[in-house]
Structures are given as structure tokens and as C-alpha cells.
């Protein structure tokens, strides 16, 4: 497993990270989730990403149990705060009250005294940024959080938070956006701003929720046992499951074959070619998916291959910075 530094910090993370959005506590049974975590550890993955909202807080608990007994100093555990985790008006957002209470609850579920990275899961326009950043800084000074990050923030929001972080003398080192061959909205504005402010990207959905594995075929229903065929989680990928997109994706198959890579490995390797990306987050419902995806670590794609990928996908690639996810 190859490693990269996160932002301008001294924190080193595995360039393939394991995430449990849509799986732990919901889509797969706990035994299967534990098997996937063990596979990740066996493959050299040390970085694990979750969030308080995943599976209604269950995902953090499952990950905490799966990592129990591991050497804590050998792991980088990341979680997030923003989305509702309860019925109350203060059970959501980035107010001081919710940030502090959510962090304490996450630590209990994860069975740890601290998290390596605490991330604002979205930007909260209803709360002064100074309030949020001060609450984050207090958690750092209490030793409950080592580093700070954001997720799906726009360039101007990242710049404002980075300025406050410097004033508060804490380290804001990462953004966690969606990024894949098909979804490139961070390239025009977020990446240049992040490079200037000393943040790296930790990207989610490098496989476009599985579409870039090539298992979804144009003109056919999604496999019943796939994410796209799942009654609940499949709804989040409907924009990818069009014949136009799926036809374009199939044109990547000969490129992967020539390189001796699976289509999933090609997709993960592609995001890692971006020098501002510190890690690609993979998810899994079966250990063999972990074994396959980690083989993308360290793969170098020549410029001519990157050009062929662009030509194959053509105009189905989404690049508009305005499409950054909002809270």
C-alpha cells in the first residue's frame, strides 16, 4: 500500500482509504462488514472514513467494533458532522452545540479517545463560520480531534475556513468531495484553491457508485444483487444508469484490458493521478472487492491513456463547479 501526506500536515494516510457509507449497518450484515474491514487491514489500508449520519449512526458503531483490538496508533480514523442525527432542532448543522455533542457521541461509537480527522460534512450557511471553526478548534485543544477537514465545500468556503484556521492556530488539511472519471466538478476551482490553502482531497465515489466497474450494461436492468438494483440506495445513482453513460463506460474496457487492470482498478488509479488527491475512498460489501480495488495503489497512467479515457467518455463527464453538493 502506498501512502501520501494529507495537505501540508505531517499526517500520512494510505492512498486507498476504506469507507462505510451505504454498507455498514444497512446494506450488509455486521459479519460481512467485519470481513471487509479485515480485508482492508490485511491489504495495508490504515485510513478508515465514516460519518455520524451513516446508517443513522450505526455505521460508526460497526466500524468501532470492527477495529476493536487494533493498534490505535497504526490507524487514521476519520468521521464527520452536519446531517441530522436526532429529532431535535439542535441535532443537525454546525452549531457549537451540535459539533461538540456529535463529536463526543462519535468517539463513544467508534470506541476511541480521539479521531485523526474531524470533517464538516457540508457547509452550514445558517451558522457563522467563526462559531463552527472555534468549536472545531476547541475539540483540537481538548485532544479529541487531531486535524480538521471539510466535505463538499466550495472554493470560496474553503478559503474562508482556511483563513480562520490559521487565526485559531489549528490545521485544516482536507476536503472530501465526490470525484471520478465521470464527476470532475472540483477540478476548475476547488483543487486550485485547496492547493493554495494547503488542503488535499480525500475523494469519495471514485467508482461512481459502481458504474465505472462496468457491471451495469446499457439496455439492461441493474443486477439484482448490485447497488444499482437495491431498492433504497440505488436511487442515488439514477443519473449514472442511463444508456448514454453506460455505453461510454463500456468503451473504457479495452483500455483497462490493455493495461492489465480491472475497470474498477482503472477508475481508482485515475483519481490518484491528480496530485491534489491524497486518498481514494473505496467501499465494499464483500472482501474480494477490497482485494481488487487496492491493486490500483501505485499505478501510473501515462498521459496518452488519460487522453484516451477523456475521448471515450466524451460529453457525459460532469464538470460544472456549481454542481458541488449542498447541504
Q: What phi and psi values does residue 104 have, to the nearest 5 degrees?
A: -60, -40
Catalytic residue check, 54: yes
Catalytic residue among 54, 82, 147, 179: 54
Alpha helices in 229-302 (DSSP H): 243-250, 253-259, 263-272, 287-293
> DSSP states of 177-240 as a string?
-B--SSB-TTTTTHHHHHHHHT-EEEEB-TTGGGGGGT-S-TTSPPPTTSSTT-TTGGGGGTTT
Contact 41, 17 (CB under 8 A): no
Contact 162, 197 (CB under 8 A): yes
85, three cell numbers:
442525527
Number of residues written out for the chain = 327
Residues 6+ apart with CB under 8 A from 190: 153, 154, 155, 158, 175, 177, 201, 321, 324
List the one residue out of 71, 131, 129 whose CA is nearest residue 97. Answer: 131
Which active-site residues does the annotation give? 54
Amino acid at each position: 500500500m502506498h501512502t501520501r501526506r494529507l495537505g501540508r500536515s505531517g499526517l500520512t494516510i494510505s492512498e486507498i482509504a476504506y469507507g462505510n457509507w451505504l454498507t455498514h449497518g444497512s446494506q450488509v450484515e455486521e459479519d460481512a462488514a467485519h470481513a471487509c474491514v479485515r480485508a482492508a487491514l490485511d491489504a495495508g489500508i490504515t485510513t478508515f472514513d465514516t460519518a455520524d449520519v451513516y446508517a443513522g449512526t450505526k455505521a460508526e458503531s460497526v466500524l468501532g467494533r470492527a477495529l476493536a483490538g487494533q493498534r490505535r496508533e497504526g490507524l487514521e480514523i476519520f468521521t464527520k458532522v452536519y446531517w441530522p442525527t436526532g429529532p431535535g432542532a439542535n441535532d443537525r448543522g454546525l452549531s457549537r452545540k451540535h459539533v461538540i455533542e456529535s463529536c463526543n457521541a462519535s468517539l463513544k461509537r467508534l470506541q476511541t479517545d480521539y479521531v485523526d480527522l474531524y470533517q464538516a460534512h457540508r457547509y452550514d450557511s445558517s451558522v457563522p463560520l467563526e462559531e463552527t471553526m472555534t468549536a472545531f478548534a476547541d475539540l483540537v485543544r481538548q485532544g479529541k480531534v487531531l486535524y480538521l477537514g471539510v466535505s463538499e465545500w466550495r472554493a470560496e468556503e474553503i478559503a474562508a475556513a482556511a483563513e480562520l484556521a490559521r487565526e485559531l492556530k489549528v490545521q485544516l488539511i482536507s476536503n472530501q468531495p465526490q470525484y471520478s472519471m465521470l464527476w470532475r466538478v472540483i477540478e476548475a476551482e476547488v483543487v486550485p484553491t485547496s492547493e493554495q490553502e494547503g488542503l488535499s482531497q480525500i475523494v469519495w465515489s471514485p467508482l461512481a457508485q459502481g458504474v465505472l466497474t462496468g457491471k451495469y450494461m446499457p439496455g439492461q436492468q441493474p443486477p439484482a444483487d448490485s447497488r444499482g438494483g437495491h431498492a433504497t440506495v440505488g436511487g442515488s445513482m439514477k443519473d449514472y444508469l442511463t444508456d448514454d453513460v453506460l455505453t461510454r463506460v463500456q468503451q473504457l474496457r479495452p483500455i483497462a484490458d490493455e493495461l492489465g487492470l480491472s475497470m474498477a482498478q482503472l477508475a481508482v488509479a485515475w483519481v490518484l493521478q491528480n496530485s491534489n488527491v491524497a486518498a481514494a475512498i473505496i467501499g465494499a460489501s464483500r472482501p474480494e472487492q477490497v482485494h481488487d480495488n487496492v491493486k490500483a495503489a501505485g499505478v501510473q497512467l501515462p498521459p496518452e491513456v488519460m487522453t484516451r479515457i477523456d475521448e471515450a467518455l466524451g460529453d457525459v463527464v460532469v464538470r460544472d463547479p456549481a454542481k458541488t453538493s449542498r447541504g
